[in-house]
Amino acid sequence: MADADIYGWAVASLNGDLNQDDWRRLSALIDRVERSIPVLPEAGRDYFNRLAKLGRSAVEFRFNN
């Protein structure tokens, strides 16, 4: 479900609907995803790296706009 959660928060960020609590939960989830990437099968690492990058972009967008 991490991918659905990160995607949902990214959309919320674009819509200006990412609040402080969402930001904290999103940041914590991205941290967990990033820590998990090295132990994932190599075939899935690129997907989760892109997912983490999407999440980080959503956080940056939220606080730069």
> Above pLDDT 70, what percent of the chain?
94
pLDDT reading at 31 higher than 90: yes
Q: pLDDT above 90 covers what percent of the chain?
A: 51
| Per-residue confidence band for 32, with pLDDT thresholds at 50, 70 and 90 | very high
pLDDT on residue 61? 73
Distance from C-alpha of 40 to C-alpha of 44, rounded to nearest angstrom: 6
pLDDT tens digits, one per residue of 12-21 = 888 888 888 9
Each domain of the chain, given as residue ranges in start order, spans 2-64
Both tokens of 14, joined, read 């674009």
Inter-residue contact 18 to 58 (CB < 8 Å): yes
